Amino acid sequence: MGTDRTSPPSRRGAPPGPAQPAHPQPLPPSERRNMIMLTSLMIAVMASVDMTIVSVALPYMAGNLNASPEEITWVVTMFTCGQALIVGVTGHLSRMLGRKRLAIIVVIGFVLSSMACGLAQSMTQIVIFRFLQGIFSGPLIPLSQSMLVDAFPAKDRSKALSIWSMGVLGGPALGPMIGGWLAQNLDWRWNFYVNLPIGIVALFLIVFFVRGVAPQRVRTDLVGLVLLATWVISLQIMLDQGDDLDWFASVDIWFMAVTAATCFIAFLWRGIYMGDANIMRLRLFRDTNFVACSILIAVVGSIFLGILIVTPQLTIDYYRWEVVTSGLVVGGAGLAGIFASLISGRIVGLVGIRVMLLLAALLIALGWLDFSSLNPYAGPMDVLRAVGLVMFGNMLIFPLLAAQSFANIPASDRDEAAGAFNFVKTLGFSFGVTFVSVMIYRGTQANWNRYNGDLSWASPGFDYYASVQGFVHEVPAAIATELSLTLAKQSGILAITQLGEVLAVLALCTIPMALLLKAK
Q: What's the domain count of the chain? A: 3
Model pLDDT for residues 242-261, shown as the tens digit of each residue = 877 778 888 888 998 999 89
pLDDT band at 469 (very low <50, low <70, confident <90, very high): low
Confidence at residue 15, expressed as pLDDT on a 0 to 100 scale: 44
Whether 433 and 474 share a structural domain: yes
Q: Give the whole-angstrom CA distance, residue 216 versus residue 420.
A: 19
**Count of Cβ atoms closer than 10 Å to residue 243 Cβ:** 15
Residue 96 lies in a domain: yes
Whether 137 and 84 share a structural domain: yes
Whether 303 and 210 share a structural domain: no
Confidence at residue 470, expressed as pLDDT on a 0 to 100 scale: 64
Contact 42, 202 (CB under 8 A): yes
Whether 260 and 405 share a structural domain: no
Confidence at residue 519, expressed as pLDDT on a 0 to 100 scale: 61
Question: What are the Cα distances from residue 427, in Å, to 120, 226, 294, 337, 394?
Answer: 28, 18, 11, 23, 18
CATH value at residue 336: 1.20.1250
For the cut 80, the answer to whether the pLDDT of residue 3 exceeds it is: no
Residue 389 lies in a domain: yes
Model pLDDT for residues 385-394, shown as the tens digit of each residue = 998 899 898 8
Residue-range definition of the domain harbouring residue 379: 284-520
pLDDT band at 70 (very low <50, low <70, confident <90, very high): low
For the cut 90, the answer to whether the pLDDT of residue 276 exceeds it is: no
Whether 179 and 248 share a structural domain: no
pTM equals 0.76
Contacts of 369 (CB under 8 A, 6+ apart): 500, 501, 504
CA-based R_g, the chain, Å: 24
Model pLDDT for residues 122-174, shown as the tens digit of each residue = 888 888 898 899 889 888 888 888 888 778 887 777 777 777 777 776 677 67
Classify residue 371 as exposed, middle or buried by CB count within 10 Å of its CB (0-12, 13-18, 19+): buried
Last residue of a domain, one of 278, 301, 327: 278
Whether 362 and 467 share a structural domain: yes
